[in-house]
Amino acid sequence: MIGTVARVVLGVLFLASGALKLRDPSWPGAAQAMGAPRWSVWFIAPAEIVLGAGLAAGLAEPWPAWLALGVLAAFSAALARVLRRPLADRPACACFGRWSAKPVGAGSLLRNGGLAVLAVAALF
């Protein structure tokens, strides 16, 4: 039961994140400022939507939860790299598009940690 709830919640969050990125015309620039390679920017939001749909629908369990953990680890690595910059040089984290655009901080990593806990719970 807990795994199902965690999987659906995580799926909805990935769906929302991808959709909000697609709606935000400034997101590609924000992604590049965070260190995303130019070639990958077009791919990130649609991939989040597909991953979110797979999680929410319970398709191919447990692989979407494992993939979500990998994606969150990659995003967390990018956040940690940005956290080494002086506060004035930190780009806005637009992880949920314009809705969440504020300079990267420790809260950004904590949020990803919470999402990773959901991903682990979705495995069970």
Tell me: the pLDDT tens digits for 74-84? 999 999 999 99
**What φ, ψ does residue 95 adopt, rounded to 5°?**
-60, -30
Whether pLDDT at 101 is above 80: no
DSSP secondary structure string for all residues of 4-65: HHHHHHHHHHHHHHHHHHHH-TTHHHHHHHTT--HHHHHHHHHHHHHHHHHHHHTTTTTHHH
Nearest to 13, CA basis, from 43, 49, 41, 40: 49
In this prediction the pTM is 0.91
Tell me: the pLDDT tens digits for 48-85? 999 999 999 999 999 999 999 999 999 999 999 999 99
